[in-house]
Amino acid sequence: MPWTNDAIRKRVAEMTRTYGDWVIWEQGLPCACRAATGLRMSAGCARCEGEGFIWVLPRKLKGIVMPARSDRHLSTMGWLNPSDLIFSPDPRHRIGDFDRITLLVPLPSEPEVITRGQSFRDGVLGLAPTEDRLAYQAARPLYCARHDAPDQLFVHGDAYVFAGKRLRWLEPPPDGTVYVVKYEALTEWIAFSTPLNTIDRGKHLGQRVLLRKRHLTNLRGNSARDAAAALGA
């Protein structure tokens, strides 16, 4: 007997409940600073911190997460970075352009090079003088040391601790010290390309959402315009 679209929807929902993982889903919206005459998106924007987007209405959502490279069609078209993911949410929910997905399984993040105290001097909101801003919410420390003394480690719990997206110093090095930190994090991913929808005989059977790590996506707008500005055009 042939499968009906309702039977397929139920099967997809069952697979998602059985094999899916919980994530945090937030809707992405353009920041109001885009409309402010003469105001470039920068760390000075109190709403988006220069990303040009804000994320609202967080909720837990279950979906199947897979490496994007397993999709031969997308790989052949050259759309992928090696680290991209494919996310298939519960068919009852629909992900939109620039929505943010936060994985709740800690993963190693790329090492960050940070200048001690620079985030505070840049006016990042909610940051104390003894804190530096991190790209992601830190879950477990892996490495932290000055860039010019890589074998002299700062010990987590003695010299510093993590507090969400902040590194809080207990024994801070001098302001201006450049150091490298690596940690496991709750990584954030952006639906940077319009999600692919599966439609069968007028019924929506679910999405395949292409995700890219937040710090690798350019949400600020036209890259050609940015390049022209850098060249003085």
Looking at residue 70, what is its pLDDT?
57
Looking at residue 34, what is its pLDDT?
65
Looking at residue 80, what is its pLDDT?
62
Which secondary structure element, helix H or strand E, spans residue 82, and what is its range? Answer: none
Looking at residue 221, what is its pLDDT?
46
Looking at CATH, the fold of the domain delimited by 5-105+187-230 is given as Thrombin, subunit H (2.40.10)
The parts of the chain modelled with pLDDT lower than 70 are 1-13, 34-44, 69-81, 194-206, 218-233
Cα 136 to chain center, whole Å? 8
Contacts of 162 (CB under 8 A, 6+ apart): 134, 138, 139, 141, 156, 168, 183
Contacts of 15 (CB under 8 A, 6+ apart): 64
C-alpha span between 185 and 107 (Å, rounded) = 5
Query: Number of C-alpha atoms within 13 angstroms, CB side, residue 89?
Result: 25
Looking at residue 76, what is its pLDDT?
53
Query: How far, CA to CA in Å, does 146 sit from each of 69, 118, 155?
Result: 35, 15, 12
Q: In 98-114, which positions are buried (b, 16+ CB within 10 angstroms) versus exposed (e)?
A: bbbbbbeebeebeebeb
Contacts of 127 (CB under 8 A, 6+ apart): 119, 120, 133, 166
pLDDT digits (tens, 9 = 90+) for 207-229: 788 898 888 776 554 433 333 43
Residues of the chain with CATH 2.40.10.270: 5-105+187-230
